[in-house]
């Protein structure tokens, strides 16, 4: 994220125009390819913030080929998960064909990727990983050195000489960074003429005054930037399918009708400049790069659109981005949907895909997971088309069952649950959980927030752009009550991932002196807001005793975060009751692990303890580390150990109507790797004042027979109860998902024995089922 380069500012205000970079389109009747660089304006904030120099990059120069060099063109096709990967296909002798994997190497992949305009090759795949191609197998036994200017210059058996089958078609994955200044040079003849086309940007430009002030831009001309000039597209061949793809590119799930009469009047007053080509999409493409070009329009004078008008699209925003008369933009996006939801993503529109089946949430196996299926998920959730279909548990591992496998969609389904899939998930584990990154509308939120003074782009003092006395000024945020949830919103708004730390003083990060004054105070966030201004705050009535400057709020962000999840079965299987004499509980009493009535209990009396084991897994993408460094850990003489977190877990017992009747807590006196998944080494152990933490793929077990691993139920009457555990309840450590930090069980106590059953994690069941369990629905509301 931090390494991406920020694109130059667009010609128009980013609040009015939404830009896209360079899209590759194929001519259908006319053999011509158009390359548009796939850079998404709404994600430009993922690069370096202003003030940080961009890394030096090479500048592309077109290769000079000898006259006898065979003229070929390449493309990436097949069942691909992103635009910079796919089956290598070659256009030669007026026909598309493939490349055999025999003797293919990373050097050959490098030549392919460079010829397509990417900086370098990442990997290559044999045996038709992206599906079997069609037509001739143009190249076999390629022996590239990696420096060739075109694949046709690599030694091989000769063009068209091969003993391979299409089951041996090779595929490549290229870097997502493009060669700066890359221009596609069309070397293929066609029936019109040889033309080199450079389409640099695509945008929706708001025309009507009522839409110019709206964010996001949902209606206007579709324009392409060709040879440095913005041009409109003639609508004589334009279809609803084309509009569907354009809207999807800009983060909208669908398109709608618009008032054509108003645009007719506008076109009469201001003569359009038309692009020379039409577009032909089928409607199920994930992106315009998969569409073909239609007829070449007439080039007589400027009459390139006889009887037509400029193309206008009107897009339907998802409910989280739609303006409403009462509240303006929706203050926070909701991850939960009736049948599908995203979990574990750092920014809006990305996450692990989870589906609801039989009242229980589960995941999708990544077998055959494609951009087409990912796009169905994105549209269903109110976003646009998919940017990327992620596999291999890239956005963290889920829990519960794997509900779907080998998903295949046509692209027009209303829900991923309507797609064909294999109900058998044999061999699938959560290491193969599928995820998506979706196009979302450009809301411009990142323009009103910045980090200053940090050592790198991911940290610094938080500075906010606000209106004061009719002008926009930068200022700081009061750090009173500033915590992890607020930092999470800042990092999301800037596209920098998750919060790793929240700071209440920033004297070591000198920001802009002119921005020292506090302009925002009393900030309280739930953690799901898209912008800091959507959180609760004092508004114009500022109140900040500490002041700004040295004491202003700051954050550090990270692309990854841990995700702690309890094992419900471990609690069910280890629960028991013990009567323990008070004289054996003195250390536990000192650490407040007993009920308040125990302070008057005589030493020879007994306390009744509900005991159990806790097995806490880290299913995230980075290690769970305590907030405090070892220099500030607290030594407890009685138990003779250090506490790195004073409250790591809370244990509560509720009546069936939600009244708390007993409670306990556990300090993290020893955060360590008890066991790990196969192939993962333990990194943390508490012995000899060692480092504390939980490695990704490992778990920490708090055994039932250690102090404070209980609830004191001495005064509890027999009956039915709800037992609950909350991990990291005070949000001391940032996680990718707090909703699964709660675990609940039904508990029956008859005065002599205790049973624990129906244990489950927060967010793992349907809302209807969850509501039958009182207590916290998830960890989003504890201790705030």
For residue 389, what is the domain's CATH number? 3.10.250.10
Q: Both 454 and 509 in a single domain?
A: yes
**Continuous segment of H or E residues that includes residue 580:** strand 576-581
Cα torsion 455, 457, 462, 466: sign: positive
pLDDT of residue 200: 55
Same domain, 607 and 752: yes
What pLDDT is recorded for position 381? 93
Name the residue range of residue 524's domain.
445-558
Question: In this structure, is residue 610 part of a structural domain?
Answer: yes
* 624 occurs within a structural domain: yes
Q: Which of 538, 558, 578 is the last residue before a domain boundary?
A: 558
Q: Are 523 and 536 in contact (CB under 8 A)?
A: yes
Sole residue written with tokens 């279909």: 389
- Which is nearest to 466 in space by CA: 525, 521, 547, 528? 521
Q: Give residue 452's pLDDT.
A: 92
**Count of structural domains within the chain:** 5
Q: Which helix (H) or strand (E) holds 566?
A: strand 564-566
Question: For residue 638, what are its two tokens?
Answer: 């009685």
Answer whether the bond into residue 216 is a cis peptide, omega within 30°: yes
Give the residue among 322, 316, 308, 321 at the shortest CA–CA distance from 244. Answer: 316
Q: Are 169 and 100 in contact (CB under 8 A)?
A: yes
| 4 domain-assigned | no
554 and 570 together in one domain: no
Q: How many whole angstroms separate alpha carbon 165 and alpha carbon 101?
A: 10
pLDDT of residue 353: 95
Measured CA to CA, the distance from residue 320 to residue 383 in angstroms comes to 9
- Choosing from 385, 416, 439, the residue where a domain stops is 439
Residue 94: the pLDDT is 79
Which of helix, strand or coil describes residue 422? strand
Biggest CA pair distance of the chain: 104
Strands 719-727 vs 435-438: parallel, antiparallel or unpaired: unpaired
Residue 520 to residue 461: CA distance in whole angstroms: 13
CB atoms within 10 A of CB 179: 20
Q: Are 350 and 485 members of one domain?
A: no
The strand order across the sheet containing 660-666 reads: 660-666, 649-654, 719-727, 742-749, 754-761
The reported pLDDT for the residue numbered 330 is 45
Domain end point (choices 526, 558, 590) = 558
| Pairwise CA distance, residues 705 & 686, whole Å | 18
pLDDT of residue 55: 46
Q: What are the residues whose beta carbons fall under 8 Å from the beta carbon of 292, sequence distance 6 or more?
A: 25, 26, 27, 28, 279, 280, 281
Verify that 597 and 721 share a domain, yes or no. yes
- How many residues are there in the chain? 784
Q: Which residues of the chain have pLDDT under 50?
A: 1-57, 184-199, 299-301, 325-337, 780-784
Phi, psi of 618 (to 5 degrees): -105, 100
Nearest to 723 by CA among 783, 779, 775: 775
Contact (CB, 8 A) for 154 and 140 = no
Q: What pLDDT does 304 receive?
A: 67
Residue 533 lies in a domain: yes
Angle between helices 371-380 and 240-249 (to 10 degrees): 80
Query: 149 with 120, same domain?
Result: yes
CA dihedral sign of residues 489, 490, 493, 494: negative
Same-domain status, 82 and 97: yes
Residue at 695 is within a domain: yes
Whole-angstrom Cα distance, residue 342 to residue 356? 12
Q: Is residue 105 part of a domain?
A: yes
pLDDT at 295: 63
Cβ–Cβ under 8 Å, residues 207 and 222: no
Is 190 among the domain residues? no
Pairing state of beta strands 742-749 and 449-453? unpaired
Q: What is the pLDDT of residue 335?
A: 45
SS3 380: helix
Distance CA 725, CA 664 (A): 9
Alpha carbon distance 179, 54 (integer Å): 14
Return phi, psi of residue 727, to 5°: -95, 145
Judgement on whether residues 643 and 683 belong to the same structural domain of the protein = yes
Q: In what order do the strands lie in the sheet with 292-296?
A: 33-34, 25-27, 292-296, 277-280
Residue 489: the pLDDT is 95
Whether residues 584 and 717 fall in one domain: yes
Q: What angle do CA 260, 264, 266 make, to 5 degrees?
A: 115
Same domain, residue pair 625 and 664 = yes
Q: Do residues 220 and 87 both lie within one domain?
A: no
How high is the pLDDT of residue 196? 35
Q: 124 with 234, same domain?
A: no
What pLDDT is recorded for position 89? 92
What is the rounded CA–CA span in Å between residue 274 and residue 232?
5
Model pLDDT, residue 670: 77
In this structure, the strands spanning 25-27 and 292-296 are parallel
Domain membership flag for residue 50: no
Rounded to a whole number of angstroms, the distance between the first and last alpha carbons of the chain is 31
């Amino acid at each position: 994220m931090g390494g991406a380069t920020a694109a130059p500012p667009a010609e128009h205000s980013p609040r009015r125009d939404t830009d896209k970079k360079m899209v590759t389109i194929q001519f259908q009747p006319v053999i011509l390819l158009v390359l548009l660089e796939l850079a998404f304006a709404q994600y430009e904030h993922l690069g370096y913030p202003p003030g940080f120099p961009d890394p030096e990059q090479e500048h592309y120069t077109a290769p000079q080929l000898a006259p006898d060099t065979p003229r070929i063109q390449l493309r990436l096709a097949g069942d691909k998960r992103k635009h910079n990967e796919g089956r290598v296909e070659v256009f030669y002798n007026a026909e598309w064909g493939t490349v055999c994997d025999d003797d293919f190497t990373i050097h050959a992949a490098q030549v392919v990727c460079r010829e397509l305009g990417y900086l370098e090759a990442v990997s290559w795949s044999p045996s038709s990983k992206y599906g079997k191609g069609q037509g001739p197998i143009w190249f076999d036994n390629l022996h590239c050195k990696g420096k060739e200017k075109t694949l046709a210059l690599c030694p091989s058996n000769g063009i068209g000489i091969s003993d391979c089958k299409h089951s041996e078609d090779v595929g490549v994955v290229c870097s997502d960074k493009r060669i700066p200044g890359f221009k596609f040079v069309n070397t293929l003849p066609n029936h019109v003429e040889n033309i080199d086309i450079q389409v640099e940007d695509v945008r929706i430009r708001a025309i009507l005054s009522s839409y110019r002030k709206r964010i996001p831009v949902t209606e206007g001309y579709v324009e392409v930037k060709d040879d440095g000039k913005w041009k409109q597209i003639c609508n004589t061949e334009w279809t609803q399918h084309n509009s569907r793809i354009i809207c999807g590119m800009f983060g909208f799930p669908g398109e709608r009708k618009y008032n054509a009469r108003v645009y007719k009047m506008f076109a009469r007053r201001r003569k359009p400049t038309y692009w020379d080509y039409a577009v032909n999409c089928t409607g199920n493409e994930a992106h315009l790069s998969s569409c073909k070009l239609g007829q070449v329009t007439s080039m007589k004078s400027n009459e390139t659109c006889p009887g037509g008008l400029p193309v206008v699209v009107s897009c339907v925003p998802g409910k989280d981005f739609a303006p409403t008369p009462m509240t303006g933009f929706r203050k926070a996006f909701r991850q939960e949907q009736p049948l599908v939801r995203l979990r574990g993503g750092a920014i809006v529109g990305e996450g692990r895909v989870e589906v609801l089946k039989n009242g229980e949430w589960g995941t999708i196996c990544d077998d055959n997971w494609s951009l087409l299926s990912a796009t169905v998920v994105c549209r269903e959730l109110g976003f646009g088309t998919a940017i990327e279909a992620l596999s291999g548990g890239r956005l963290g591992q889920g829990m519960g069952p794997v509900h779907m496998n080998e998903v295949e969609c046509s692209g027009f389904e209303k829900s991923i649950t309507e797609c064909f899939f294999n109900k058998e998930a044999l061999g699938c584990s959560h290491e193969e959980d599928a995820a998506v990154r979706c196009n979302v509308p450009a809301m411009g939120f990142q323009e009103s927030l910045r980090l200053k003074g940090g050592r790198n782009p991911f940290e610094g003092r938080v500075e906010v752009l606000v209106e004061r006395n009719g002008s926009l000024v930068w200022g700081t945020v009061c750090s009173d009550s500033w915590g992890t949830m607020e930092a999470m919103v800042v990092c999301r708004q800037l596209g920098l991932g998750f919060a790793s730390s929240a700071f209440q003083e920033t004297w070591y990060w000198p920001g802009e002196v002119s921005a020292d004054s506090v302009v925002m105070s009393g900030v309280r966030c739930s953690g799901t807001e898209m912008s800091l201004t959507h959180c609760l705050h004092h508004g114009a009535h500022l109140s900040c005793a500490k002041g700004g400057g040295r004491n202003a709020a700051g954050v550090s962000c990270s692309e990854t975060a841990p995700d702690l999840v309890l094992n419900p079965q471990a609690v069910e299987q280890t629960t028991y009751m013990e009567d323990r004499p008070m004289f054996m509980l003195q250390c536990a009493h000192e650490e407040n692990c007993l009920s308040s009535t125990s302070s008057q209990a005589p030493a020879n009396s007994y306390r009744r303890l509900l005991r159990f084991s806790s097995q806490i897994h880290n299913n995230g993408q980075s290690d769970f580390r305590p907030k405090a460094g070892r220099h500030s850990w607290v030594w407890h003489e009685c138990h003779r150990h250090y506490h790195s977190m004073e409250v790591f877990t809370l244990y509560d017992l509720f009546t069936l109507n939600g009244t708390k009747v007993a409670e306990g807590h556990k300090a993290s006196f020893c955060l360590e790797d008890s066991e790990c998944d196969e192939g993962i080494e333990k990194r943390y152990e508490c012995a000899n004042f060692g480092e504390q933490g939980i490695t990704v793929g490992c778990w920490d077990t708090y055994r039932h027979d250690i102090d404070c691993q209980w609830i004191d139920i001495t005064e509890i009457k027999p009956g039915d109860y709800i037992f609950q555990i909350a991990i990291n309840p005070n949000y001391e450590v940032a996680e990718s998902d707090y909703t699964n930090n709660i675990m609940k069980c039904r508990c029956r106590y008859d005065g002599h024995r205790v049973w624990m059953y129906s244990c489950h994690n927060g967010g793992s069941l349907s809302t209807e089922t969850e509501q039958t369990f009182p207590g916290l629905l998830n960890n989003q509301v504890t201790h705030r």
